[in-house]
């Protein structure tokens, strides 16, 4: 049978990613440059800084992915690139680069929706049939949806304020975790997960958010505010004014991670009941996909697994490195769109270039 190859390019936020996949779901070559380290030091993502880093790295990242795939640009069938949602300045770097390549080698360009790419990722290696539920929990988003087709998603619940990843990142920064040995280069969520392993999740009690709201939306702002308040209290009690980390930081991390996870699980539980009522998932084997950076958290995974099992759903999680932003998911979404015959741009004028 005939092989098709797609190059995927991702620059929506702070990761420059590229990968080549074939129509059999094989990852032929991939490369990633993460900016997390620099953004953690600066205290958050500054869009022009992210753009400059994408610009510096994109050429190397794409060439490395192509080298590893042992393919020439001429052999590609299409180029897929994230066009939304994301930071406009960051997106533009990838879009412009992909567009240049597409023009130079006369390849069709496939515009990719970043969240749809997260949602379709596990189909690259696992048999998952539509419709299925998907929970995306990342640094920019929290949403629960029914995936009904390659470009068909029904939103069931969404974050009302900040995202779980943002809550993890802000609290990790407030806790000064980056100053602890072994924490450099980790995202806020990953740092909290590591410390939480040695802590007691029941040591500090956080309030429940939205428990009386009859929908499937999410809210993390209240938990973040409460966490900041608790940290300030502990600092006051221990007369901490400088860069020292609070005593019992592992217990704090475990409790905070537990609170975030409990909220996610309770809202998803409502979503599972709702999807049953509305008969959204009609397959014999009901499945839910968990993806996005927060989906790489093992405590979140294990807890959600329990909830899913109770409602006869199987929880499917991509491997952690495919949960966070990467080029593979963009290339694979391109392949899905190509196979489903949707949204291939033969005419490059359909993508409006963003002025920088
Ligand atoms: O999906 P992603 O790479 O980028 C977005 O599209 O946002 O997600 C990044 C987010 C960050 O906020 C990071 O703190 C969080 O995912 N994250 C984690 C873990 N690893 C990354 N959160 C909790 N536990 C983790 N192990
Ligand atoms: Zn993402």
Summarised one tens digit per residue, pLDDT across range 219-247 is: 999 999 999 999 999 999 999 998 999 99
Local structure of 40: helix, strand or coil: helix
* pLDDT above 70 coverage of the chain, percent: 96
- Residues 295-311 have a mean pLDDT of 95
Task: Give residue for tokens 């709201």.
Answer: 213
Q: Considering only CA atoms, which residue is closest to atom 3 of ligand 1?
A: 324
Q: Tens digits of per-residue pLDDT, 242-276? A: 899 999 999 999 999 999 999 999 999 999 999 99
Mutate which of 159, 168, 177, 304 for ligand 1? The one with the most ligand atoms within 8 Å of its CB, which is 168
Domains 5-123+323-350 and 129-317 share a fold: yes
As for ligand 1, residues whose beta carbon falls within 6 Å of it are 13, 138-140, 165, 168-169, 187-190, 193, 292-294, 296-297, 324-325
- What does the buried/exposed string (b/e) look like for 245-273 if buried means 16 or more CB atoms within 10 Å of the residue's CB? ebebbbbbbbbbbbbbbbbbbbbbbbbbe
Instruction: Say what the pLDDT of residue 350 is.
Output: 45
Instruction: Say what the pLDDT of residue 37 is.
Output: 84
- What average pLDDT does the structure give for the chain? 93
194's CB contacts (< 8 A; 6+ apart) are 182, 183, 186
The CATH number, out of the four listed (3.30.1370.160, 3.30.420.40, 3.30.465.10, 3.90.550.10), of the domain defined by the range 129-317: 3.30.420.40
pLDDT(288) > 70: yes
Q: How far is the CA of 190 from the centre of ligand 1 (A)?
A: 7
272 sits in which H/E element: helix 249-277
Helical spans, DSSP H, in 105-163? 114-120
Burial class (CB in 10 A: 0-12, 13-18, 19+), 17: buried
CATH number of 5-123+323-350: 3.30.420.40
Measured distance between the N- and C-terminal CA atoms of the chain, rounded to whole angstroms: 43
Rounded-to-integer distance, Cα 65 and Cα 76, Å: 13
Q: How far is the CA of 93 from the centre of ligand 2 (A)?
A: 17
Instruction: Say what the pLDDT of residue 174 is.
Output: 96
Contact 18, 7 (CB under 8 A): yes
Residue 82 has phi, psi (to 5 degrees) of -70, 125
The bridge status of strand 109-113 relative to strand 132-137 is unpaired
Q: Tens digits of per-residue pLDDT, 101-149? A: 999 999 999 999 999 999 999 999 998 999 999 999 999 889 999 999 9
The yes/no answer to whether this complex scores an ipTM above 0.85 is yes
pTM, two decimals, is: 0.91
181's CB contacts (< 8 A; 6+ apart) are none
Nearest alpha carbon to residue 35 among 334, 243, 291, 324: 324
Enumerate the domain spans of the chain: 5-123+323-350, 129-317
């Amino acid at each position: 049978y005939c092989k098709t190859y797609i190059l995927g390019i991702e620059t929506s936020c702070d990761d420059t990613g590229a990968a080549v996949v074939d129509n059999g779901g094989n990852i032929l070559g991939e490369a990633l440059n993460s900016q997390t380290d620099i953004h953690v030091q600066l205290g958050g993502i500054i869009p022009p800084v992210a753009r400059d880093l994408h610009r510096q790295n994109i050429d190397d990242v794409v060439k490395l992915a192509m080298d590893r795939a042992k393919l020439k640009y001429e052999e590609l069938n299409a180029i897929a690139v994230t066009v939304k949602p994301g930071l406009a300045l960051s997106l533009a770097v990838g879009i412009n680069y992909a567009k240049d390549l597409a023009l130079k080698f006369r390849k069709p360009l496939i515009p990719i929706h970043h969240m749809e790419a997260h949602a379709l990722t596990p189909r690259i290696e696992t048999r998952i049939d539509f419709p299925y539920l998907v929970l995306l929990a990342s640094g920019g988003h929290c949403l629960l949806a029914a995936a009904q087709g390659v470009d068909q998603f029904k939103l069931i619940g969404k974050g009302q304020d900040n995202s779980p990843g943002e809550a993890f990142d802000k609290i990790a920064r407030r806790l000064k975790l980056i100053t602890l040995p072994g924490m450099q280069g980790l995202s806020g969520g990953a740092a909290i997960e590591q410390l939480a392993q040695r802590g007691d999740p029941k040591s500090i009690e956080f309030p429940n958010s939205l428990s009386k709201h009859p929908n499937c939306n999410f809210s993390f702002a209240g938990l973040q505010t409460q966490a900041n308040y608790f940290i300030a209290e502990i600092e006051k009690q221990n007369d901490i004014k400088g860069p020292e980390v609070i005593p019992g930081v592992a217990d704090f991390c475990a409790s905070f991670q537990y609170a975030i996870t409990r909220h996610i699980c309770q809202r998803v539980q409502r979503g599972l009941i709702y999807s049953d009522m509305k008969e959204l998932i009609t397959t014999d084997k009901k499945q839910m996909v968990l993806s996005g950076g927060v989906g790489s958290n093992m405590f979140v995974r294990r807890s959600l697994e329990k909830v899913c099992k109770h409602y006869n759903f199987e929880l499917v999680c991509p491997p952690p490195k495919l949960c966070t932003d990467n080029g593979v998911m963009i290339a694979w979404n391109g392949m899905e769109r190509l196979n489903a015959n949707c949204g291939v741009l033969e005419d490059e004028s359909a993508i409006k270039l963003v002025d920088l």
